[in-house]
Structure 1
Amino acid sequence: MQRALQILEKYWHYTAFRPVQDGIIQSVLEGNDTFGLMPTGGGKSLCFQVPAIVNDGLCLVISPLVALMKDQVNQLQNRDIKAIALTGSIKPDELIELLDNCQFGNYKFLYLSPERLEQDWVLERIKALPISLIAIDEAHCVSQWGHDFRPSYLKIKKLKSHFSKIPFIALTASATPVVQEDIIGLLGLENPNVFQKSFARDNLGYFIIKAEDKLHKLHQILQKNPESSIIYVRNRKNCHEYAAQLSALGHKTTFYHGGLPVKEKEKNMNSWMKDEVTVMVATSAFGMGIDKPNVKTVIHINLPENLESYYQEAGRAGRNGEKAFAVLISSPSDVIQAESQFISVLPDTNFLKEVFVKLCNYFRIGYGEGINEEFSFSLNQFCGQYKFPVIKTFNSLQFLDRQGVISLSQEFSEKVQIQFLIESKEVIRYISLNPDDEPIIAVILRTYPGIFDLQTNINTVFIAKKANSTEAKVLNLLEKLKNLNIVDYFSQQNESKITFLEVREDDRTINRVSKDLQRQNLVKKNQLEAVIRYVSDESNCKSKLLLDYFGEKNPDDCGICSFCSNKKSQKHDLGTIRTEILALLSEKEMTSRDVAAVFPVEESEILKALKQLLEHGIITFNTKNQYTLSKK
């Protein structure tokens, strides 16, 4: 371990390993298969990077995320460590050259996606490399019971039979006991040493706060905790809206989502990392490589898809060891919205078959034909032609991609963004002078109400259909409006590609993968149900609920979550609260928010007391929607 510590200090400038890291590294250096379960921020990458540098040879790293691979390769290269990543966009000729470099260029790390292992010639080239360690990152993707199953991960076991004397290390930040067992079995790990860092975060308080007006509650939380924070929202539109609203309320705010240009992402990220702004409003795209120690609060505005991702995102708070908060703001409509977002868009077997058959017809592929044929593909046009819902269709294609039926390029960036630069009354004036343009403009205004406030992604196929027009006419009109300085218009038509990896067999193809589809859908439904139970459970410590989900038993309450805080706080009876409210209203009229800001009790108790006073005619509303004492 002395050599490992020297490398840690030389390249990473640390003098000691974190808890669990040292045990994992020692196990790998001794040549053992190793499994590491380390929550977000635990330093997983060092567990294979350090022993790989200690030993001679090349470390093969299998990772499902292109962005994560690029980030780790850049970090290694910045430390003068030779590393390379074989991402999906690399052409075959270039791929051969890069593999030659790995064989003869003294590289230490080769990163690739699990899908690369499905290419037999790539697998054969890998077998010829001087590999000393094989690391499987995000290993929960191996398990069909994991939250991000990738069938291509199952190919990794092929490497085990060839590199039987080379240690394998599997790492993940989130895996239930069932998933852990699945990973070890499916990777063929031999008597692995298993290391697990506790999921408990002693300094992090998990809070569930019920509120109808989420913006107001956000404002209150940020006023009380003005330090660095992250706010996770459902989509890009919410990202812009909440960022604008919080800025208007006086908070230094920026935003981040997958649709931003790279330069804007970097600018916004850097301003937040340097504390030039304190609030980052983001979608789930914000996460990879985020290790800011002084994040005080992570707030979720909507229900997450699963507790695995929630734990990872919430865990970005309090990494400096100081007290921090993970807050989930909940309202009664959240469950319906979450089911609509995560469950209703899951394809069933019949829909999957319909999409596959129509896809083959779309490209005129006959039965028993199509293998290795490649086509340019527009998702919006395909969905428009067959009246398919876009997200559900994309999920179907993505599932077929992961099952190896098709290969779907990741360049789904058919973007058309517009924003009106003139006021709505000026748009109406334009329409009156140009009545032929009215149908298309009217559809745009009805479909995208925030289009005057921010750059908005629009679906030109959908607009054309609703306006009884064509996509070409929609695009021509947008270009015309841009030239007249009526809209800011941006179009980026990077065509995606679909390659058919099997011959067309319709029923046989879909029947073969239908069990995996049913299993995937069941996993996602069970995971959302676990989220709903976590949010709605008012009888148990929130930290204990999370620990129990991940198979970790802890008999003690955390003492700092919303449940524990409510249990500790002094309970007020309704009679006392009513008396206090009347005393306040005898001095001045107040809204329920004003009253809640004064009382250190649950808002629901205050509302209950106000309702009773209203029903008995003791208080009433004035013209400003404030509570006031009734006139006797």
Structure 2
Amino acid sequence: MQEAVAILRKYWKHDKFRSLQNEIIDSVLSGKDTFALMPTGGGKSVCFQIPAMMNEGICLVISPLVALMKDQVANLQKRDIKAIALTGGIRSEEMIDLLDNCQFGNYKFLYLSPERLQSDWILERIKNLPINLITIDEAHCVSQWGHDFRPAYLKISSLKKHFPKTPFLALTATATPKVKEDIINELGLHNPRIFEKSFARENIAYMVFEVEDKLFRIEQILKKNPEPSIIYVRNRKSCLEVCSQLQSLGFKATYYHGGLSSKEKDKNMQLWMNEEVQVIIATNAFGMGIDKANVKTVIHIQLPENLENYYQEAGRAGRNGEKAYAVLLTSPSDILQTENQFINILPDKKFLNQMYVKLCNYFQIAYGEGINEQFTFNLNHFCIKYGFPILKTYNAMQFTDRQGILTLSQEFSEKISMQFLIPSKEVIRYMSLNPNDEEIILAILRTYPGIYDTQTAFNLELIAKKSHHAATEIHAVLKKLKEKDIIEYHSKNNDATLIFNEVREDERTISRVSKYLENQNQLKKEQLKAVVGYVNEKKVCKSKLILNYFGEKANTDCGICSYCITKKQRKPDVISLSKEIITLLETEDLNSREIQNRTKNSPDEVIFVLQHLLDNSVILVKPNNKYTIRS
């Protein structure tokens, strides 16, 4: 393996391999089919990049994530290694040139999505390339029980007959035992060598806290741990709100979400990477290729969709091996909100069929026609026309995209962006002088609190609904504000391009894929149930719960998670503290922080006794999060 270490040193500037990398590379070089389960941060890419560099020919990398492909190609090119990615939006003529380069230009890596393999002419060209290794990244997508199943992955096994002597390497960061078995079977791996790195992260303390005031607890955590931190939130609006709140508390903070331009993403990322700010507030768009070793704390303030995503995001903490914290803050309403966010917007077969038929009607596609027809498409306009809920429709369209029925050429994005150029007090003065514009401006300010600080994506239909004004009226107000230099305002046509990949057959089209939809919906429900179980389980070590989910058995408690810490702590004198709390509540209703201040007990002790009183129906919680004596 001296040659492998020499390549690692030359191109990656490291002197030795991490755990399992050496063994996986050796397996691939010996021509064996290989399965590797390596959690986030384990260095999966080196496992195929090094052996590909050591052999003549080109490595074919199949990946579902355009952002990850682009990131890896850019990193290889920085090291003067020739790599190409066939991503969406590339014209056929350009693709022919790129494939010519692969054949005659001494390229070492060709990245493409599994859907590309469904084009016969692309497959024919690939069959003629000197492929030395076929790598399947994010291999859990091959399994119907994986968290992002894509049927196009099922066709990868057909490459076996064209490249019978070329080893397959399947890589994934998150796979349960059922998913692992599926991957090996569906890819047709022949007597594969299997490498599994433990999911245990001994240096990460997994913490779950039920709190009333999440911002107050975040403030405590960040003050106690002033090192680099990530706060994960569910949407773009929360990014701006939490960032603004933390800045007002004196923290240096920035944010990251999918709606930012590449320039803004890079700028905000570098602020955090260079530690000019302590904390970055982000949606799950943040994380691809992020490898900052000294992240001390990762905080989630809403429940994640599944434990696979949670483990990956939490795992960005403590990569330097020092003690770090993965904190999940919850409140009683979180479970209901998460069900509304992830479960109630899942399309069923009936809705999927409705959406598809209306979509065909929308573009006037006749039954038996439509294959390869291309249209510009505005999701908001389509949903308003047919009275469809936007998120449910978007999920249905994503599903048909993954099934290959349709192709959406780009992410949906807002058509309008704007920013206020004058201070808030001047805006208030303008509203007092122009009362007819007040409702619209107030709706904008309440919906987008960060609109004074940055160019903000703007949903016209949402503001129309909130302000009870027509879209034309809102356009008129925006135009007037722009003319008066009160706002900077950009209107762009960012409609998606929609391609129909099959002829229209209505229910026959949908029936063919509905079993996948049912499986995916069932999987999402089970995954959320596992998240709720992780949060609600008060009598098991949190690290053990995570390991058990991924099929590992832990014999001992971790000793540092929220359960283990509570077990070690002195239990409060329940009787005397209960009496003290009841006496306080007989006078007035109080929240837990007020009770904590009055009794001079720790937050955990107060929460423990309050839970005891709630369980015994002595007290109840009012909608304003204050406790009161049960009458």
Could you state the TM-score of these two structures normalised by the residue count of structure 2?
A: 0.91
TM-aligned CA distance change 1:71 to 1:428, over 3 Å: same
Specify the alignment match of 1:330 in structure 2.
330
Whole-Å separation in 2 of the counterparts to 1:444 and 1:270: 30
Specify the alignment match of 2:602 in structure 1.
599
Whole-Å separation in 2 of the counterparts to 1:455 and 1:12: 38
Specify the alignment match of 1:216 in structure 2.
216
Q: How do 1:378-393 and structure 2 match up within 5 A?
A: 378-393=378-393
TM-aligned CA distance change 1:427 to 1:395, over 3 Å: farther
Is the aligned partner of 1:62 residue 2:62? yes
Specify the alignment match of 2:622 in structure 1.
none
User: Of 428, 432, 445, which aligns to 1:429?
Assistant: 432
Q: Deviation per CA, 1:265-316, whole angstroms, max 9, x where unpaired?
A: 1111111111111111111111101111101110000000000000000000
Whole-Å separation in 2 of the counterparts to 1:596 and 1:245: 28
TM-aligned CA distance change 1:407 to 1:253, over 3 Å: same
| Mean CA deviation greater in 193-202 or 272-281 | 272-281
Specify the alignment match of 2:303 in structure 1.
303
TM-aligned CA distance change 1:483 to 1:182, over 3 Å: same
Whole-Å separation in 1 of the counterparts to 2:603 and 2:467: 54
TM-aligned CA distance change 1:468 to 1:269, over 3 Å: closer
Retained in 1: the 8 A contact 2:142–2:154?
yes
TM-aligned CA distance change 1:597 to 1:105, over 3 Å: farther
Specify the alignment match of 2:89 in structure 1.
89
Following superposition, the deviation at residue 6 of structure 1 comes to: 1.2
Q: Deviation per CA, 1:153-201, whole angstroms, max 9, x where unpaired?
A: 1121121221111000000000000000111111111111010000001
Retained in 2: the 8 A contact 1:303–1:338?
yes
Retained in 2: the 8 A contact 1:229–1:279?
yes
Whole-Å separation in 1 of the counterparts to 2:606 and 2:454: 34
Specify the alignment match of 1:169 in structure 2.
169
Whole-Å separation in 2 of the counterparts to 1:28 and 1:318: 30
TM-aligned CA distance change 1:12 to 1:550, over 3 Å: same
Following superposition, the deviation at residue 249 of structure 1 comes to: 1.1
TM-aligned CA distance change 1:406 to 1:626, over 3 Å: closer
TM-aligned CA distance change 1:242 to 1:440, over 3 Å: closer
Following superposition, the deviation at residue 534 of structure 1 comes to: 0.5
Whole-Å separation in 2 of the counterparts to 1:455 and 1:332: 34
Q: What SS is found at the alignment partner of 1:169?
A: strand
- Mark the runs of 5 or more structure 2 residues left unpaired by the alignment: 585-589, 620-625
Whole-Å separation in 2 of the counterparts to 1:371 and 1:122: 19
Whole-Å separation in 2 of the counterparts to 1:575 and 1:109: 68
Following superposition, the deviation at residue 491 of structure 1 comes to: 2.4
Whole-Å separation in 2 of the counterparts to 1:188 and 1:276: 49
Q: Deviation per CA, 1:471-516, whole angstroms, max 9, x where unpaired?
A: 4554343222212233332323222111111111111111111111
Specify the alignment match of 2:509 in structure 1.
509
Retained in 1: the 8 A contact 2:596–2:602?
no
Following superposition, the deviation at residue 448 of structure 1 comes to: 5.8
Whole-Å separation in 1 of the counterparts to 2:450 and 2:242: 12
Specify the alignment match of 1:45 in structure 2.
45
Whole-Å separation in 2 of the counterparts to 1:443 and 1:245: 20
Q: Partner letter of residue 490 of structure 1?
A: H
Specify the alignment match of 2:524 in structure 1.
524
Specify the alignment match of 1:315 in structure 2.
315
Following superposition, the deviation at residue 427 of structure 1 comes to: 4.6
Q: Deviation per CA, 1:236-259, whole angstroms, max 9, x where unpaired?
A: 111111111111112111111111
Specify the alignment match of 1:193 in structure 2.
193
Q: Partner letter of residue 384 of structure 2?
A: G
Could you state the TM-score of these two structures normalised by the residue count of structure 1?
A: 0.91
Following superposition, the deviation at residue 610 of structure 1 comes to: 10
Is the aligned partner of 1:230 residue 2:233? no
Q: What SS is found at the alignment partner of 1:35?
A: strand
Retained in 2: the 8 A contact 1:377–1:497?
yes
Whole-Å separation in 2 of the counterparts to 1:438 and 1:80: 57
Following superposition, the deviation at residue 417 of structure 1 comes to: 2.7
| Mean CA deviation greater in 563-572 or 27-36 | 563-572
TM-aligned CA distance change 1:19 to 1:92, over 3 Å: same
Q: How do 1:173-572 and structure 2 match up within 5 A?
A: 173-420=173-420, 421=422, 422-423=424-425, 425-432=428-435, 435=436, 444=444, 456-464=456-464, 471=471, 474-572=474-572
Whole-Å separation in 1 of the counterparts to 2:94 and 2:541: 54
Is the aligned partner of 1:109 residue 2:112? no
Whole-Å separation in 1 of the counterparts to 2:355 and 2:497: 16
Q: Partner letter of residue 527 of structure 1?
A: Q
TM-aligned CA distance change 1:198 to 1:477, over 3 Å: same
Whole-Å separation in 2 of the counterparts to 1:63 and 1:52: 16
Specify the alignment match of 1:76 in structure 2.
76
Q: What SS is found at the alignment partner of 2:493?
A: strand
Whole-Å separation in 2 of the counterparts to 1:450 and 1:11: 42
Following superposition, the deviation at residue 225 of structure 1 comes to: 1.1
TM-aligned CA distance change 1:364 to 1:314, over 3 Å: same
| Mean CA deviation greater in 121-130 or 570-579 | 570-579
Is the aligned partner of 1:29 residue 2:32? no
Whole-Å separation in 2 of the counterparts to 1:393 and 1:596: 51
TM-aligned CA distance change 1:212 to 1:439, over 3 Å: closer
Q: Partner letter of residue 524 of structure 1?
A: K
Q: Deviation per CA, 1:364-384, whole angstroms, max 9, x where unpaired?
A: 111111111111111111111
Q: What SS is found at the alignment partner of 1:591?
A: helix
Whole-Å separation in 2 of the counterparts to 1:205 and 1:439: 47
| Mean CA deviation greater in 140-149 or 597-606 | 597-606
Following superposition, the deviation at residue 428 of structure 1 comes to: 3.1
Q: Deviation per CA, 1:10-67, whole angstroms, max 9, x where unpaired?
A: 1112111111111111100000000000000000000000000011110000111111
Whole-Å separation in 2 of the counterparts to 1:480 and 1:183: 58
Retained in 2: the 8 A contact 1:384–1:462?
no
Whole-Å separation in 2 of the counterparts to 1:17 and 1:603: 48
Q: Partner letter of residue 338 of structure 1?
A: T
Retained in 1: the 8 A contact 2:581–2:595?
no
Identical-pair percentage:
61
Q: Partner letter of residue 72 of structure 1?
A: Q
Q: What SS is found at the alignment partner of 1:45?
A: helix
Q: What SS is found at the alignment partner of 2:519?
A: helix
Q: Deviation per CA, 1:568-609, whole angstroms, max 9, x where unpaired?
A: 111122245479999x9xxxx993353587537434136579
Whole-Å separation in 2 of the counterparts to 1:174 and 1:609: 37
Whole-Å separation in 2 of the counterparts to 1:378 and 1:626: 48
Retained in 2: the 8 A contact 1:572–1:601?
no
Retained in 2: the 8 A contact 1:239–1:281?
yes
Following superposition, the deviation at residue 223 of structure 1 comes to: 1.2
Q: Partner letter of residue 604 of structure 1?
A: I
Specify the alignment match of 1:619 in structure 2.
none
| Mean CA deviation greater in 423-432 or 130-139 | 423-432
Q: Partner letter of residue 239 of structure 1?
A: C
Specify the alignment match of 1:630 in structure 2.
none
TM-aligned CA distance change 1:467 to 1:296, over 3 Å: closer
Whole-Å separation in 2 of the counterparts to 1:596 and 1:198: 44
Whole-Å separation in 2 of the counterparts to 1:376 and 1:479: 26
- Mark the runs of 5 or more structure 1 residues left unpaired by the alignment: 617-624, 628-632
How many residue pairs get aligned? The number is 610
Q: Partner letter of residue 336 of structure 2?
A: I
Specify the alignment match of 1:622 in structure 2.
none
Whole-Å separation in 2 of the counterparts to 1:597 and 1:185: 60
